[in-house]
Amino acid sequence: MRQQLRQHLQAERQKIGPHARMAAAEAVAADIVTRLPTSGGYLAGYWATGGELPLHVLQLRLPTNWIWCLPVVMPGKKLRFAPWRGGDPLANNRYGIPEPMLSPDACLMPEAMQAVVMPVVGFSRSGLRLGMGGGYYDASFAFRKHRPAPPLLIGAAYSCQETDALEAADWDVPLDAVATEHGWIDCIREGVR
Residues of the chain falling short of pLDDT 70: 189-193
Query: May I ask the CATH class of domain 2-9+22-86+101-122+130-186?
Result: alpha beta
Cβ-contact 69, 114 below 8 angstroms: no
Beta bridge partners of 44: 69, 116
- Candidates 52, 59, 123, 116; CA nearest to 86 is 59
Q: What is the pLDDT of residue 189?
A: 62
> Which pTM does this prediction carry?
0.94
Q: What is the pLDDT of residue 193?
A: 41
DSSP state string for the chain: -HHHHHHHHHHHHHTS-HHHHHHHHHHHHHHHHHHS-TT-EEEE-----TTPPP-HHHHHH--TTEEEEEEEEETTTEEEEEE--TTS-EEE-TTS-EEE---GGGSBPGGG-SEEEEE-SEE-TTS-EE-SSS-HHHHHTGGGTTSPPSSEEEEE--GGGB-S-----TT----SEEEETTEEEE---TT--
Domain range summary for the chain, segments of one domain joined by +: 2-9+22-86+101-122+130-186
Q: For residues 151 and 139, what is the distance between their CA atoms, to the nearest angstrom?
A: 14
Q: What is the pLDDT of residue 192?
A: 52
Q: What is the pLDDT of residue 1?
A: 79
